[in-house]
Amino acid sequence: MNRRLLFASAAATLTLGITVALTYPAAAGQSPDAATDAATAAGISPQVFQALARDLKLDPAGVQARLANETKAGKADLALRKSLGGAYGGGWLSADAKTFTVGVTSEAQAAKVRATGATPQLVARSLTQLDAVKAQLDAVATKAPKTVPGWYVDVTTNQVVVLAKSGADAAAFVKQSGVDATAVRVEASAETPVPYIDVIGGNAYYIGSGSRCSVGFSVNGGFITAGHCGSTGATTTQPSGTFAGSSFPGNDYAWVRVNSGNTPRGLVNNYAGGTVTVSGSTEAAVGASVCRSGSTTGWHCGTIQARNSSVTYPQGTVNGLIRTNVCAEPGDSGGSLIAGSQAQGVTSGGSGNCSSGGTTYFQPVNEILSAYSLTLVTGSGPPPSSPPPGGSGCTGYEFSRSGSLSSGGSAYQPDNSYYQSTSSGTHRGCVAGPAGTDFDLYLQKWNGSAWANVAQGATPSNAETLTYSGTAGYYRYRVHAYSGSGSYAMGFTNP
């Protein structure tokens, strides 16, 4: 059908934990179904649960307690990013995930942190300031010596870390960038990151004459993966398709449009004879547990060490990556990083291997979705033609709304008004109308004189999703009944 396309130096530490201390019961004496029961209670697949227990060396009760703490931390972090504004200094979980700490640049803001159950820590720099320091280093990335494999924002120490094989080279690079040297810490590193590609064997997809990479996550029309795996126009097999977009270096992301006969599924291979269901792409906190799937080494887990990391490969520097202690090897490139059931990133590269351990970096999923206006496929297949009973077609979002429209009508959410985002970040929205209708969703931003569409979901379907990476400002959603009438459910998450 024809459609109308509408575009228009840190200070004293304050104390209080996110949870009381938890004692993990011994594994001895537990029934064989203990892990399955605990996984069900935690809302994740048994395969993810078992891999976390294996790689984090926890029993079922320990994994369950950790996941519960991580969920609390994620909700607290989302709320505090907004309420603290320019005083937010980043948030991080302790190694055992029992304590969630949030940096604040003003002691007057500590009460807001305590109110969420988190631990406030007075810091010298906000996360915005740390990101600005890192941006200065990114701006001169082409001048970084080969002995400097990368740099990242370390919220746990309120500094930007520059990894170095030569301290003198790193110091010269930092000086050349013009950043405040007191905000930077040079850290000795033996990392030699390379993109993971060109290893024979494994369950994967192949590029051109036989190079191998791993599928990241399914999206509408195909899948996302690492940019270094193939340039725009390159063809793939198993599944067959074509790189519809690719960016590397600078970024390390791409998406492959698959040929007919290939069906994208919202699943990740756990290399244990099963799959893990993807239900969304909500970002996990620094310190949260994550698992990676790749065609060389299979399924491995660890934790997030930092976000907004820059890594210098032989081909150039890639910015904005997720740094983890999950192992990976060549051929795992492009593969999935998932936290529970939430997509996090695609494998970019790293240092080390799965025998001795290592560091692996991932390109964030939401950035890829925004760059190419893609929609993540969730569940076991494409979005359903009708929402589940009870109007629960949009789940996993921070906010929810519902309403009813006649054919051709529109409604503005939230509550016939708008919301304000005080920082840059990703906006995600979803709408689900009755079966047989065509409901569309538009995200609008105030440009100073009028509301302008900045993102949309406007296919001939009753269910739509959208993702948009935007700057601070005023936003609202327009729900439009293009054809058909009835009740709708809506969900949205904003920075």
Q: Which domains does the chain have, with CATH numbers?
A: 34-122 (3.30.300), 127-188 (3.30.300.50), 194-372 (2.40.10.10), 399-493 (2.60.120.380)
pLDDT of residue 393: 62
CB atoms under 10 Å from CB of 447, counted, come to: 12
List the catalytic residue out of 228, 300, 427, 480.
228
Better pLDDT: 396 or 267: 267
Confidence at 168, pLDDT banded by 50, 70, 90:
very high
Which segment of 21-25, 193-197, 300-304, 478-482 scores lowest on mean pLDDT?
Answer: 21-25
pLDDT tens profile 407-458: 888 999 998 889 988 888 889 999 999 988 889 999 999 888 888 888 888 8
d(CA 454, CA 286) in angstroms, rounded, equals 29
Asked if pLDDT for residue 106 goes beyond 90, the answer is: yes
Residue type, 149: P
Contacts of 255 (CB under 8 A, 6+ apart): 219, 222, 223, 224, 225, 243, 244, 245, 368, 372, 374
pLDDT tens profile 220-252: 888 999 999 999 999 988 888 899 999 999 999
Judge whether 438 counts as a catalytic residue.
no
pLDDT of residue 35: 64
d(CA 125, CA 90) in angstroms, rounded, equals 10
Long-range contacts of 90-94 (CB under 8 A, 24+ apart): 90/123, 90/127, 90/130, 90/153, 90/155, 90/158, 90/286, 91/118, 91/155, 91/285, 91/286, 92/155, 92/156, 92/285, 92/286, 92/287, 93/69, 93/285, 93/286, 93/287, 93/288, 93/303, 94/287
Which segment of 57-66, 72-81, 374-383, 437-446 scores lowest on mean pLDDT?
Answer: 374-383
Q: What average pLDDT does range 82-109 have in this prediction?
A: 94
pLDDT of residue 326: 96
List the catalytic residue out of 252, 332, 438, 440.
252
Nearest in space to 316 (alpha carbons), one of 248, 227, 232: 248
pLDDT of residue 310: 96
Residue 257, H or E segment: strand 253-258
Better pLDDT: 122 or 18: 122
pLDDT of residue 202: 37
Judge whether 333 counts as a catalytic residue.
yes
Q: CA 424, 126, 319, 466: dihedral to nearest 10 degrees? A: -20
Which segment of 7-16, 135-144, 298-307 scores lowest on mean pLDDT?
Answer: 7-16
Q: Provide the whole-model pTM.
A: 0.68
List the catalytic residue out of 177, 211, 246, 333.
333
Asked if pLDDT for residue 302 goes beyond 90, the answer is: yes
pLDDT tens profile 305-316: 999 999 999 999
Asked if pLDDT for residue 208 goes beyond 90, the answer is: no
Q: What average pLDDT does range 150-168 have in this prediction?
A: 95
Mean pLDDT score across all residues of the chain: 84
Judge whether 252 counts as a catalytic residue.
yes
Asked if pLDDT for residue 380 goes beyond 80, the answer is: no
